[in-house]
Amino acid sequence: MAEFLVFANQQHLVQGDEAVRTAERERAMELRAAGNLKRLWRRPGRRGWIALWEAADATELHDQLASLPMYPYLEITIEALATHPQER
């Protein structure tokens, strides 16, 4: 499995927010249970999040991010992580 840092920013508020956010939480739980969403943080004062993600590759990562109900409202950048020699 490859590791990625995912930085998601949500610039605008979402109408019908509550329903979308409930669906978001459920999908996130599934991805967590599946071992893809390893860690999730907030950046203080921002509506987006930072995640440590595991996926087979960038293609699976994209598909999983695009499956988030909040996806249309997020600006996402990723950082592909290489294993550090100290952790091999």
* The only residue of 36, 54, 61, 70 in contact with its own copies, by rule CB under 8 A: 61
DSSP element (H, E) containing 54 = strand 49-55
10 closest CA partner among 50, 39, 38: 50
Site residues (CB under 8 A) for its own copies, limited to 7-46: 8, 11, 13, 25, 28-29, 32, 39-46
36 closest CA partner among 13, 10, 15, 63: 63
The contact set with its own copies (CB under 8 A) reads 2-6, 8, 11, 13, 25, 28-29, 32, 39-46, 49-50, 52, 57-59, 61-62, 65-66, 72, 74-87
